[in-house]
Amino acid sequence: MHITRIRTSSRPSSGEVTPLLAGAATAVAAFGALLALTGSHSPLRAPLVLFFLLAAPAAAIAAALRGLDPYGRLVAAVAGSVALNMLVAQGMLATHRWSARGGVIAVTVISCLLLLAVLVRRRRGAKGRDI
């Protein structure tokens, strides 16, 4: 005889909350980038763009550091995100090309390239194990 337990609580379990929070963070970051790229004068522009500039590289770096424990990965990803933003700002200032829109574009491109490198590395690793 198999007894099935019925969940009576309306609160989601911790496993169901994590993807929801990740999706909400992605939407907020994307909205911040959109506000920066369109030149909006919304009072939400500054905090959402700052969130994007920290979250996008941190997510890419965290994906690359899959082997670390969660807290170590979080600290390393946030530190790498801050360092990447500082390098982008320094490079733009050194070349006299500073703009908020350009900074958002540069951070987006670098973050996407980092994620692409992680995906290519994982795919090559998976193919190597199959052989």
10-residue stretch averages of pLDDT, the chain, 131 residues long? 60 66 88 90 92 93 90 94 96 94 94 94 77 55
Q: With contact defined as beta carbons under 8 Å apart, do 64 and 119 qualify? A: no
Q: Is residue 80 part of a domain?
A: yes
- What is the predicted pLDDT for the residue at 130? 57
Q: Is residue 122 part of a domain?
A: yes
- What is the predicted pLDDT for the residue at 40? 87
Residue 46 backbone phi and psi in degrees, to 5: -60, -50
Q: Structurally, how many domains does the chain consist of?
A: 1
Q: Is residue 99 part of a domain?
A: yes
Q: Is residue 10 part of a domain?
A: no
pTM for this structure?
0.78
Q: Is residue 5 part of a domain?
A: no
- What is the predicted pLDDT for the residue at 125? 80
Q: With contact defined as beta carbons under 8 Å apart, do 65 and 77 qualify? A: yes
Domain that holds residue 102: 18-130
Q: Is residue 9 part of a domain?
A: no
Q: Is residue 49 part of a domain?
A: yes
Q: Which two tokens stand for residue 24?
A: 């909400």
Q: Is residue 8 part of a domain?
A: no
CA gyration radius for the chain? 19
